[in-house]
Amino acid sequence: MSRKSPITNLLFFLLIFLFAFSAAGKSRSHHPRRPCRHLVFYFHDIIYNGENAENATSAIVGAPAWGNTTILAGQNHFGDMVVFDDPITMDNNLHSPAVGRAQGFYIYDRKEIFTAWLGFSFVFNSTEHRGSLNFAGADPLMNKTRDVSVIGGTGDFFMARGIATLSTDSFEGEVYFRLRADINLYECW
Ligand SMILES: *[C@@H]1O[C@H](CO)[C@@H](O)[C@H](O)[C@H]1NC(C)=O
Ligand SMILES: *[C@@H]1O[C@H](CO)[C@@H](O)[C@H](O)[C@H]1NC(C)=O
Ligand SMILES: *[C@@H]1O[C@H](CO)[C@@H](O)[C@H](O)[C@H]1NC(C)=O
Ligand SMILES: *[C@@H]1O[C@H](CO)[C@@H](O)[C@H](O)[C@H]1NC(C)=O
């Protein structure tokens, strides 16, 4: 009577097997770490320098007490805040047709090294894309690539989330720089 039947044994092992399997399933991510969408854009920042008001796409709007809003301050521009409305292009040419605008601000936030904090949106109103993508994060400028968060989107990018890998594609004497944004979305609707 105390001897278990082979059927009971089989059920027991089946149960253990199922349990182990479901535990292994849980430890795996529900979202595979593969992007659902990949996009590459360039945006072009021409900083006002006291002489280029016509072309400038960005302006210093805040400076520390020891600086001014015409020229970026010393000590790695610490304390300067810049507002921008930059054209976005599909390639690295400033004069290519713009597919949207990169709009937002950056704050230089360390005296010791050249680094910034970025908060901006890509605003699209073209035949390719309509809507916006919103970005935020630290931008350690001396690094070849920097990852910032894609924290949301609207329109064609409804509820988008992901990572944008930024790299400085060109840097010309504190007047012009061009960033390449390599965007991988991990949430797409
Ligand atoms: C700014 O605009 C002027 C006049 O259109 C042009 O000559 C100059 O090259 C432009 N500068 C830049 C940096 O694009
Ligand atoms: C602004 O600051 C820069 C350097 O920090 C200086 O060369 C320039 O003369 C200042 N301009 C004004 C208008 O104060
Ligand atoms: C987007 O483009 C359309 C067509 O060119 C225009 O009617 C509309 O006002 C634009 N919207 C914005 C927010 O710029
Ligand atoms: C950025 O560069 C610094 C110094 O070269 C390095 O220590 C750091 O790990 C880099 N950060 C990232 C996110 O790559």
Which CATH superfamily hosts domain 33-187?
A: Allene oxide cyclase-like (2.40.480.10)
pLDDT (mean) for 102-113: 97
Average pLDDT, the chain: 89
Q: Atom 9, ligand 1: which residue's CA is nearest? A: 55
Does ligand 2 lie within 6 Å of residue 79's CB atom?
no
Report DSSP letters for the chain, one per residue.
Answer: --SPPHHHHHHHHHHHHHHHHHHHHHHS-SS-SS-SEEEEEEEEEEB--SS-TTT--EEEEE--TTS-SSS--HHHHTT-EEEEEEEEESSS-TTSPP-EEEEEEEEE--SSS--EEEEEEEEEESSS-EEEEEEEEEE-TTSSEEEEEEEEEEETTTT-EEEEEEEEEEEETTTEEEEEEEEEEEE--
Position 127 scores a pLDDT of 87
- Using CA atoms, how far apart are residues 103 and 146, in angstroms rounded to an integer? 19
115-171 pLDDT, tens digit per residue, is 999 999 999 988 889 999 999 999 999 999 999 999 999 999 999 999 999 999 999
Is 96's pLDDT higher than 70? Answer: yes
Position 30 scores a pLDDT of 62
Q: Atom 3, ligand 4: which residue's CA is nearest? A: 143
Position 22 scores a pLDDT of 57
1-34 pLDDT, tens digit per residue, is 455 566 666 666 655 555 555 555 554 556 668 9
Q: CA angle, corner 129, sides to 88 and 87, nearest 5?
A: 15
Position 138 scores a pLDDT of 97
Position 174 scores a pLDDT of 82
**Per-domain residue ranges of the chain:** 33-187
60 alpha carbon, distance to own chain's centre: 22
Is 85's pLDDT higher than 70? Answer: yes
Task: State the pTM of this model.
Answer: 0.81
Position 165 scores a pLDDT of 98
Q: Which ligand places an atom closest to the C-alpha of 101?
A: 3
Does ligand 2 lie within 6 Å of residue 70's CB atom?
yes
